[in-house]
Chain A
Amino acid sequence: MLLSLAWKNIWRNKLRTLVLVSAIAFGIAGVIFFIGLSQGFMDARNKKLIDTQLSHIQIHNPQFESVFSLKDTISDIAQVESFLSKRKFVKGFSCRLKTLAMATSPYNSAGVMVVGINPIDEIKVTRLYSYMADSASKYLDRVKRQNSIIIGHALARRLQLISYRLTDRVLAELKDLGLPQSVVDSLAQLKDKPFRLSSTFYDKLEEVLPQDDYNKYADAIAQHAAHYRLHRRIILRMQDINGQVVEAAFVVVGVFYTQNDLFDGQFVFVKKPYLAQLLGLPGNTTNEVAIRVDNPDKVVEYQQVLKKRFPELSVKNMYELDPILRISRTLVYLYYAIVEIFVFLALSFGIINIMLMAVLERTKELGMLKAIGMNRRRIFVMIFNETLLITFLGAIIGLFVGWLIIVITSHTGLDFTRFARRGFESLGFSAVVYPRIPLLAMLEVVVFVVITAFLSSLYPTIRALKLKPAEALRYEL
């Protein structure tokens, strides 16, 4: 009876109830969309991180992680290999040899992490081969030359192994991309001129294009005009096992572009036997084993299997290996909760304000109800139900709309390229986002809704309870 009375009461002022319900719905849908977007950003980053370098589990010599010396290799690699190849959950594993080096081109130099790999094994663990920047670039499995190297886009730029040239083909591509004819026409004056530095190319673009067009299109033009200067030599300078500096020339056979500047600027990949030989080590020397498993959700369980078998080695799962991955699994819920607290606090003030109004304008009626024998508990339940009904109505709509937005955008994706591609990529995030809402985050929102509903119901209800019937009946608005 009290519930149906409460339901009837909230529709006394339809406009007010609808405004409040929509405010709650908007707030909740907004929170869900925000969480979905954040999660989408992180998902894309994490997937790429696992796909391009991290894998699911890595094994090291415990010393290697702290000292990073060539001496700290996995001593009995054959045993590890034979164990891993017999495990069903292991989809692939790659024995890597990593060392630091200084990479030098005729134009510039940069510190890099050299990763020696057996390309056939590495392909079963990471998918860097699918991130090659252009059709001329080859992954290491497709080249015979011992001293081949693949580098990232950001390093290629740093070492000035990119030249920018607006050929007829590039201009046609840009036109297909939807650049205005006026822009393409202005670019024609730069046709076929080579630029070795991105800065001079950008300067020239700024010169020939109106400021607005430059801001809008410069990145897209540069991306299409870039030609990697493949088959150039770069020198790697590093220390061998005895601490002697060794230098070797490598031929750039491919450039990868993962849209993560940190990775693309720091990692280079070479063939492991050749690297080992340069460093004065046996060909199968390994200081990192990267493992891809069949089900990433069971990674902790699999890690335990390996830990048990190789207690002397350090076996880490992807969450232990990457701080952001770890955050995205646990701390992120705290972060969502903080956002939710602010949104729901704001919402609860709105709810309290409106429900208080609804109580005060019914002072005489509440006085009458109390006089005829409606006790405090029943008045409490009635007003409480009114607030709960409004809040839950808004919440259900908000949760549904938010969920719907996530479902739609998770298929279509949201493209932020126009706004800040470079900003996202330099942080390792992709500019195209596929939002996703984890069940746990959705539950978190629901919990906050319930808390908000109860807390904001309290004050108006207490105000209603404090009314003395005789005074309430005398009350004039």
Chain B
Amino acid sequence: MPVIVVEDLHKTYQSGQVTVNAIRGIDLQFEKGEFTAIVGPSGSGKTTLLNLLGGIDSPTKGRVIIENVDITKLSDTELTDFRLWNIGFVFQAYNLIPVLTAAENIEFIMHLQGRPKAERKKRVAELLEQIGLKDKANARPSQLSGGQQQRVAVARALAAKPKFILADEPTANLDSVNTETLLNIMEKLNQQEGVTFIFSTHDQRVIDKAHRIVRIEDGRIVEDVRVK
């Protein structure tokens, strides 16, 4: 049974005087445990598609159904709550709260979920270990490299135990070594925790790691292949 079902998705928005048809009719399904790359040139609609999948933007037409819930029908508050429990996010930048330490950033989302303190502490230690930043637990984001910050963001997304994680060009600002490290961690977590990863990218090194590649151009799917 698919985790996410996208039906006839359209998104049009105004950018100044210009009407942009960012998504023009997309139908897609994602299974549990996928490691999927959404690829395409700049302006092809990758970010818009991820935003629609994550419920942080609403479609002009069509539906996004996550485990039988049509999230396009939820109110703002219901949607926020839905995201908290079901969807993890990793953005290009501005992922972390600058005044909190790495550990606090990871813990923050579990705080929002109201998980008990003992569970939070255990999970934070476990995740810091997995992303290889145990020694940076008390470092503020400003004291971490870009790659380390993205690893913390992945850990934060995982901490909430979501159904899937959406990562919008997570390696866009990283060099090749950090890109490699981050992808290895994501892949490992995908296998260990069985969590679904959907990430957008136009970086060939990232595409090479993906198990499934969905290529979009001008808001339409032009290719959808399973490679592993």
Contact = CB atoms under 8 A, between A and B. Distances in A.
Interface in A4-30: 5, 8-9, 11-12
Nearest to A366: B94
A371 to B, nearest CB: 5
Interface residues of A, number: 23
Interface stretch (A104-112, A166-174, A321-329, A374-382): A374-382
Contacts of A365: 94, 97-98
A383 B111 CA distance: 17
Interface in A44-83: none
Given A364-B94, A368-B91, A5 B77 contact: no
Contacts of B81: 373, 375
A473 interface: yes
B51 interface: yes
Given A1-B111, A5-B100, A470-B51, A371 B94 contact: no
B17 to A, nearest CB: 17
A440 interface: no
Contact of B99 (A12, A369, A371, A376): A12
Interface stretch (B60-68, B82-90, B174-182, B206-214): B82-90
Contacts of B130: none
Contacts of B100: 5, 8
Contact of A375 (B57, B77, B89, B98): B77
A443 interface: no
Contacts of A369: 97
Contact of B57 (A12, A364, A378, A470): A470
A373 B99 contact: no
Contact of B112 (A11, A364, A368, A374): A374
A365 B84 CA distance: 16
B109 interface: yes
Nearest to A365: B94
Interface in B47-66: 51, 54, 56-57
A376 B76 contact: yes
A378 B54 contact: no
Contacts of A40: none
A369 B80 CA distance: 10
B160 interface: yes
Contacts of B57: 468-470
Contacts of A367: 94
A376 B77 contact: yes
B95 interface: yes
Given A1-B108, A372-B83, 8 more contacts: A12-B98, A364-B94, A372-B89, A373-B84, A374-B112, A469-B57, A470-B51, A473-B94
17 contacts: A1-B111, A8-B99, A9-B99, A11-B99, A367-B94, A371-B91, A373-B80, A373-B83, A373-B84, A374-B80, A374-B84, A375-B80, A378-B112, A469-B57, A470-B51, A473-B91, A473-B94
